[in-house]
Amino acid sequence: MDQPAERALAVPRTGRLVDGLLAAGTVVAVLAVTVRLDGRLDAEGTLPLALWLGALLLLRRRWPLTVLLLSVQAVVAFRTAGLTDVGWVWPLSAAYAALAADDRPGRPGLPWAVGVGLTELAFAGAWETSAGGATPREALGSLGTEALWLAVILAAATAYRNRLRWRAELDERLLRADRERSLEADRRIAEARLDIARELHDVVGHTLTVVGLQLRVAGEALGDSPEEARKALTTAQQVRTEALRDLRSLVHVLRAPEEVARGPAAGVFEIAALVERMRSPELEIRLETTGDLAALPAPVSLAVHRIVQEALTNTVRHARASQAQVTLRCGGGRMEVSVTDDGRTPAKPPGRTAGHGMRGMDERVRALGGDFSAGPRGKGDGWLVRAAIPVPGFRT
């Protein structure tokens, strides 16, 4: 047998100590009560019976029913043989309690203890009135006390068993609650990591794209139009400053999550400036807005800004487009966003999944209960990014 199995079957050291004390206590109790009740105390009767009952209790944890049956058989044998003259049930108190308190699956100890006790009392009554020479009234008086003691023992054992059940159920509930808290903490950590990954991707990717675009414009215009080059460099500097502000806000949230977060730095009202920064001689971007954008909740406003930001960043980096259209429609209980361009549609290599930016836009929209789609416009070249986010209570 392997070591784990041996440990599973072994009785803990504290349990062995309790069993030893219970066995010794039973031996002493049988002898002391016999003396107290003026019974016979000799080496041929009460002493070996007490030792036998105590020794059997050492096995009560593994075979409680067998221990009780052997104990009852010993008491019956010694009483009917005339070797002892005191007690039918009380010497077996520990054996009855051990069986009644047994709560292992498939081993109903209490019904067996009740059945064995009633059978022993019935036999004792029959023997007392026949072979023992006692009248029915004397037998009833003697065994009535024994029956009452048996009821007390079984009631106490049942209460102890129920308390063990209650403790086990409480421990299970506490363990389940701890597991649920751990899973919830893991889920929150995963969500926070996704949020951080999306913000870093959107801020850094957009900043590098716009700065690169403006530096290219500045480089091309430096000789012919110094003023246009200066404007492009200023725009690049502004984008860098805004990116640093967003990154500082993100680091502040990571360092002090318990503090109340300030409103998002980006929103729908910054989209016009975003579009202006993304324009270049090679790319014309048009912006169309409908509805009351001021009524948008902050999470929706931030999501719309990030979607437009990422979509235009992809247009500049990958599409080689000459025109792009940004449309914002707010009304009917929802916010609709669409970004289209006339650039070429890149062929997707087999087995390649969507990039981080595309997944980030989809996660933002679905976290707010909306729908997201992105793909070729249909006929000809061009790409379409579309999102619809519900805005509860908004009916403009």
Which range, 36-40, 116-120, 235-239, is most confident?
116-120
How far is Cα 342 from Cα 380, in angstroms, rounded to an integer?
8
Question: Taking residues 240-268, what's their average pLDDT?
Answer: 62
Which of 113, 134, 155 lies at the terminal end of a domain, its last residue? 134
Range picked from 56-65, 260-269, 339-348 for highest mean pLDDT: 56-65
Q: Residue 225 phi/psi, 5° resolution?
A: -140, 85
DSSP-H helix ranges across the chain: 3-9, 13-36, 46-56, 64-80, 93-100, 109-129, 136-221, 226-255, 271-278, 298-314, 356-367
**Is 212 part of any domain?**
no
Residue 243 included in any domain: no
d(CA 388, CA 393): 15
Q: Does 380 score more than 70 pLDDT?
A: no
User: What percent of the chain has a predicted confidence (pLDDT) above 70?
Assistant: 76
User: How far, rounded to the nearest angstrom, does the alpha carbon of residue 56 sit from its chain's CA centroid?
Assistant: 45
Mean pLDDT lowest among 220-229, 300-309, 355-364, 367-376: 220-229
pLDDT computed for residue 223 by the predictor:
67
In a domain, 283, yes or no: yes
Last residue of a domain, one of 134, 165, 191: 134
Q: Full-prediction pTM beyond 0.85?
A: no
Per the structure, the complete domain to which residue 319 belongs is given by: 271-396
Which of 116-120, 137-141, 191-195 bottoms out in mean pLDDT, i.e. has the lowest? 191-195
User: For residue 389, what is the domain's CATH number?
Assistant: 3.30.565.10
| 3-state SS, residue 159 | helix
pLDDT band of 5, cuts 50, 70, 90: very low
Q: Is the pLDDT of residue 328 over 80?
A: yes
Query: What's the number of domains the chain is made of?
Result: 2
Specify if 235 maps to a domain. Answer: no
Range name among 101-110, 315-324, 343-352, 364-373 with the lowest pLDDT average: 343-352
DSSP at 12: P
103 in any annotated domain: yes
Contact 264, 301 (CB under 8 A): yes
Judge whether 151 lies within some domain: no
The pLDDT score that the predictor gives to residue 1 is 41
Query: Mean pLDDT for the chain?
Result: 78
Q: Which of 72-76, 99-103, 228-232 is predicted most confidently?
A: 72-76
